[in-house]
């Protein structure tokens, strides 16, 4: 209980403290300083709010397409030439920065360097009488070595969004023009983010030689799907489409996907189910982060998982010892094998978090090994079989292979002396045993190169002899054939090909080794085919 004496003592202490003039001055200074600091912060906040009310600020992350739009758009601005601090790049990631016309190339024929905004720098420029400030920031991703994540911040002195919308539309158009005749291929990184891998030129549809109707079937189905978004929405059906291409290796499955991506102007996102460290959650994140219009590609889906794409786990052999568990090292990323299960794959393809608007292509060489749940409609809607080469395909392949080249080809006078092992003798004959066939078709004999230099030919001269080599020099060019000659040779070539015995990839490899000798290609295909089939038979017997 507080006594009156204690209260009197406390009051006396307060009176004593207030009687000290220095403490009174300090209290006054504290109050005045606090007042002015409060006013300063209030004015700074009001000033910042007023300034920000006149600015639009937009941020772009490098994992989004809009980042690439802006980088290309910036490189095309006239005022960008006056920037004093830039990054120099020779990469073709930003095609808008890479010159393509011949007058923009250096004397060696290589593109000039690209000019990109320097990291951690701010720049100002004018666009349509509007002041802008550009800032590019690069931050390291914790725990993943040299990988960085870039961002771009654009501040525009404007009150409404019209100028920003104009810039975005112009930037998108500049990016599309920069894409030109190419598509972009993306892969996932260790943080389950999509990263640009490369750009690939579009491949014409007519360059894919398949059985009649297959190419048109897939292309027209995909085009109809992309145009049916409203139809799916009205009926409450998820707007997704899946294609399963199965059949023999080297039959053109991946090539068709490449061609379709160019025809539909869609980028390709490669989903590698066997990627180290990928699990069901990571796979769901990848598929949910896909853009609305794209092609998702899963190649060799039958071999993607460690065991098999089946709901049943294979039994473990009794003598199989458990694998040691890797011990993580602090500071380094832990790399493990893929842990994707079939149920996780099924949920990612058509679960509640699956992206809509995308087209899924899956390829497999072992159709029967796939689980029926993976192949049902809604996941894989259209199954297309790719068979080994037919005579029709062989005929079309030969015709396309030996079509006349573009006008810009080296002439025979530009060839190096003594570079052709099949030297012509003074009497006009060559070392090629099939010279009579050349004469019958009206093709000059000296336009055909020999695949293997002859030791006897080289022994005639001890000095300056032609080098020994096996194969075909890429510099050689096929003789110009008339349509009648080409038809006759293609028919001869196709007639020697048995139905469904060899792949188109094998035929293309054979023709590639004789790309400058169509006559020899048509004449020797039977002997090559016998060796090819014998090799395949021996390999199958060894495996069995």
In contact, 142 and 151? CB cutoff 8 Å: no
H helix intervals, 384-463: 391-401, 435-441, 455-459
pLDDT at residue 90 above 60? yes
Max mean pLDDT range (130-144, 311-325, 499-513): 499-513
- Amino acid 111: pLDDT: 54
pLDDT at residue 145 above 70? no
- Amino acid 445: pLDDT: 42
Using pLDDT thresholds of 50, 70 and 90, give the confidence band for residue 412: very low
Return the structure tokens found at 217: 């079937």
- Amino acid 227: pLDDT: 95
Sign of the CA dihedral 206, 447, 450, 420?
negative
- Amino acid 437: pLDDT: 41
- Amino acid 319: pLDDT: 46
- Amino acid 164: pLDDT: 92
Query: 317-367: per-residue pLDDT in tens?
Result: 444 444 444 444 444 444 446 688 889 999 999 888 888 999 999 999 999
Integer Cα distance of 228 and 375 in angstroms: 22
Who has greater pLDDT, 392 or 48?
392
Integer Cα distance of 204 and 419 in angstroms: 35
The string of DSSP letters for 463-502 reads SSPPPP-BS--TT--PPP--HHHHHHHHHHHHHTSPTTSS
Using pLDDT thresholds of 50, 70 and 90, give the confidence band for residue 460: very low
Mean predicted lDDT score pLDDT of the chain: 78
Give the predicted TM-score (pTM) of the model: 0.73
CB atoms within 10 A of CB 139: 11
Is residue 129 classed exposed, middle or buried when 0-12, 13-18 and 19+ CB atoms within 10 A define those classes?
exposed
Using pLDDT thresholds of 50, 70 and 90, give the confidence band for residue 114: low
Pairing of strands 241-247, 194-201: unpaired
Note the residue count of the chain: 544
The string of DSSP letters for 57-102 reads EEEEETTSHHHHHHHHHHHT-GGGGG-S-EEEE--SSSGGGS--SG
Using pLDDT thresholds of 50, 70 and 90, give the confidence band for residue 237: very high
- Amino acid 84: pLDDT: 76
Return the structure tokens found at 348: 């990612």
By mean pLDDT, which of 134-143, 195-204, 470-479 is the weakest?
Answer: 470-479
């Amino acid at each position: 209980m507080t006594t009156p004496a204690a209260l009197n003592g406390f009051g006396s202490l307060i009176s004593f403290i207030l009687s000290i003039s220095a403490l009174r001055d300090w209290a006054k200074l504290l109050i005045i300083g606090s007042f002015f600091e409060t006013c300063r912060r209030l004015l700074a906040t009001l000033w910042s709010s007023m300034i920000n009310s006149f600015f639009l600020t937009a941020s772009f992350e490098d994992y989004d397409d809009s980042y690439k739009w802006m980088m290309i758009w910036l490189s095309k601005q006239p005022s960008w030439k006056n920037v004093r601090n830039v990054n120099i790049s020779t990469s073709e990631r930003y095609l808008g920065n890479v010159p393509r016309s011949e007058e923009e190339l250096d004397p060696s024929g290589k593109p000039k360097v690209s000019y990109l905004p320097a990291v951690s720098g701010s720049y100002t420029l004018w666009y349509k009488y509007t002041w802008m400030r550009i800032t590019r920031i690069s931050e390291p991703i914790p725990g993943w070595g040299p990988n960085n994540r870039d961002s771009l911040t654009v501040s525009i002195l404007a009150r409404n969004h019209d100028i920003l919308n104009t810039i975005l539309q112009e930037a998108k158009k500049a990016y599309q023009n920069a894409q030109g005749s190419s598509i972009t291929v993306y892969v996932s990184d260790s943080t389950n983010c999509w990263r640009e891998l490369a750009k690939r030129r579009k491949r014409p549809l007519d360059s894919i030689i398949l059985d009649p109707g297959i190419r048109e079937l897939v292309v027209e189905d995909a085009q109809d799907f992309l145009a049916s978004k409203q139809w799916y929405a009205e009926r409450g059906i998820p707007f997704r489409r899946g294609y399963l291409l199965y059949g023999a290796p080297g039959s053109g499955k991946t090539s068709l996907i490449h061609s379709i991506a160019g025809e539909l102007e869609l980028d390709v996102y490669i989903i590698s189910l066997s990627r180290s460290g990928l699990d069901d959650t990571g796979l769901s994140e990848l598929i949910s982060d896909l853009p609305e219009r794209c092609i998702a590609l899963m190649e060799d889906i039958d071999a993607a998982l460690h065991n098999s794409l089946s709901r049943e786990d294979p039994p473990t052999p009794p003598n199989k010892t458990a694998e040691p568990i890797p011990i993580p090292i602090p500071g380094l990323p832990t790399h493990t094998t893929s842990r994707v299960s079939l149920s996780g794959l099924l949920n990612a393809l058509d679960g509640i978090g699956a992206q809509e608007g995308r087209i899924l292509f899956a390829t497999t060489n072992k159709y029967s090994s796939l689980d029926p749940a993976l192949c049902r409609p809604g996941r894989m809607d259209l199954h297309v079989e790719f068979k080994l080469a037919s005579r029709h395909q062989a005929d079309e392949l030969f015709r396309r292979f030996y079509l006349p080249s573009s006008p810009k080809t080296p002439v025979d006078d530009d060839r190096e002396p003594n570079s052709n092992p099949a030297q012509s003798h003074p009497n006009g004959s060559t070392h090629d045993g099939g010279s009579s066939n050349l004469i019958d078709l009206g093709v000059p004999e000296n336009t055909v190169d020999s695949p293997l230099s002859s030791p006897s030919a080289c022994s005639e001269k001890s000095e300056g002899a032609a080098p020994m080599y096996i194969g075909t020099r890429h510099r050689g060019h096929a003789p110009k054939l008339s349509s009648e000659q080409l038809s006759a040779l293609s028919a001869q070539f196709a007639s020697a090909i048995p139905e469904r015995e060899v792949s188109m990839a094998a035929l293309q490899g054979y023709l590639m080794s004789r790309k400058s000798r169509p006559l020899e290609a048509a004449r020797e295909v039977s002997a090559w085919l016998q060796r090819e089939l014998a090799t395949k038979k021996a390999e199958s017997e060894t495996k069995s």
